[in-house]
Amino acid sequence: MDLLLQTLVNGILIGGVYLIITLGFNLAFGVLGVIDFAVGEWVMLGGFTGYWLNHYLGLDPLLFLPVTFVVFVIVGALVYPMLARLLKGRQHARLLMVFVFTFGLSTLLKGGALTAWGFNQRAMDSFFSARSVELAGVYMPQIRLVAFFFGVLITVAVAWMLYRTRFGLSVRAVAQDEGKARLMGVNTNRVAALVYALYAGLTGMAGVLIGVIYTVTPQMGVQYTIFAFFIAVLAGLGYVPGVLLAALLLGLIQAFVAVYIGSAYSLLIVFLSLYLILLVAPRGILNRGRA
């Protein structure tokens, strides 16, 4: 019973980190209508940013998450104009070119990271790294608790932005129908640029959290691209509120597979679960996303 409860808690806590990765990813898909296959590399760069702050400057990377967010927002804003040129093409060619661009960006970033840092895994420390909390026989590492509550906080902040601000109204209008939003006076290009920058900022922060919990390596991006895609599809492509439930579900699947079956089967079970769920609900578990 103790092992079952411990596994359940571990799955929920790691789901909070996945939540941050997919929030921006799903939001960007809702507005831009394209899937960014470089999402894992944004995570990887965020992890190495935290490592650089910790290893070379001796700083706690968690305390500088706002700085990481701002840096990646700026980088995302600089990358978006190249993506925007592809989004202006014809529909059938646009999707293919965006896929090629994001795949190429992924390869470029991974290759650059391998050149700069090599193949070795890098670890970083935080004030919370070696501490844990015990409750009813269940051990919860403080770093995972911090990451979980930070993920929930970011989710609440994004939800407030979407449903309580004028900018959020513009984002939802563009996601629902870009043409009609443009006719209503919404600057769709500006909205798309800000959403992509926000997505890069959120993903960069998630990379720092993952780097503190686990380790950082230039090859880590592929795994988190798969996880982001899994959660986004499970939540319903373009439907942000479903991300919370889908992220927690992925965390639970991973935790139970690692304990009761074996971590080597993790990706196999993840894809099998996705396949079975989409057979029943092709628009996501809440039936609100795009089919």
Read off the pTM.
Answer: 0.89
Confirm whether 289 is domain-assigned: no
Confirm whether 53 is domain-assigned: yes
pLDDT in tens, 168-196: 899 988 888 888 888 888 898 899 999 99
Of 94, 75, 77, whose CA–CA distance to 86 is shortest?
A: 94
pLDDT in tens, 85-111: 877 766 666 777 888 888 888 999 999
The CB-based long-range contact list for 263-272 (8 Å cut-off, 24+ gap) reads 267/223, 267/226, 270/226, 270/227, 270/230, 271/230
Confirm whether 76 is domain-assigned: yes
- The total number of structural domains in the chain stands at 1
Confirm whether 285 is domain-assigned: no
Print the domain residue range for 121. Answer: 2-280
CATH code: domain of residue 87:
1.10.3470
Which residues of the chain, if any, have pLDDT below 50?
A: none
Confirm whether 287 is domain-assigned: no
| Helix or strand run (H / E) with residue 135 | strand 132-135
Confirm whether 290 is domain-assigned: no
What is the per-residue pLDDT for 196? 93
Confirm whether 286 is domain-assigned: no
Confirm whether 257 is domain-assigned: yes
To the nearest 10 degrees (0 to 180), the angle between helices 221-235 and 2-32 is 80
What is the per-residue pLDDT for 74? 95
What is the per-residue pLDDT for 69? 94
What is the per-residue pLDDT for 250? 86
